[in-house]
């Protein structure tokens, strides 16, 4: 089954404790992206990756890091989480040459609470 998986699905942590949210896709997609969703703001892009070892900032990259060492994985790293990073996080993937008609495939979401 074609899918994007994220782990963990739920996480409660404390300020300053480094954490990683994993994202993996089994569709051999080149493009992967992270979004955060906050009430009243919709989804905003954090980082994206066009392929292995190619990443770039989205609209709200502060406080986050990413890496793309393998095509299927795109982890999101919070080196020193703060309460304003409490949010619902989505990973998404799509083929690089998708064109306009292809949507992005979303993972199930990770609900992060930073105390």
Binding residues for another protein, rule: CB under 8 A, are 31, 33, 35, 40-45, 48, 50, 58, 88, 90, 92, 94, 96, 98-101, 103-104, 106, 108-109, 111
Q: Residue 42 Cβ, how far from another protein at the closest point, in Å?
A: 4
HEC per residue, 17-29: CCEEEEEEECCCC
Q: Residue 60 Cβ, how far from another protein at the closest point, in Å?
A: 12
The label of the residue with tokens 């994993």 reads 22
State the Cα–Cα distance between residues 73 and 52, nearest whole angstrom: 9
State the Cα–Cα distance between residues 81 and 103, nearest whole angstrom: 30
Whose Cβ is closer to another protein: residue 15's or residue 28's? 28
What's 27's DSSP letter? S
Whose Cβ is closer to another protein: residue 2's or residue 14's? 2
Q: Residue 73 Cβ, how far from another protein at the closest point, in Å?
A: 18
115 with 60: CB under 8 angstroms? no
Whose Cβ is closer to another protein: residue 48's or residue 64's? 48
């Amino acid at each position: 089954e074609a899918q994007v998986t994220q782990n963990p699905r739920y996480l409660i942590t404390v300020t300053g404790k480094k954490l990683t949210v994993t994202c993996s896709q089994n569709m051999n997609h080149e493009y992967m992206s992270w979004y955060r969703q906050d009430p009243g703001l919709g989804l905003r892009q954090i980082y994206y990756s066009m392929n292995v070892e190619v990443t770039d900032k989205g609209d709200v990259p502060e406080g986050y890091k990413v890496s793309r060492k393998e095509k299927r994985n795109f982890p999101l790293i919070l080196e020193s989480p703060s309460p304003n990073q409490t949010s619902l996080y989505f990973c998404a993937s799509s083929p690089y040459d998708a064109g306009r008609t292809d949507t992005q495939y979303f993972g199930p979401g990770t609900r992060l609470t930073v105390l």
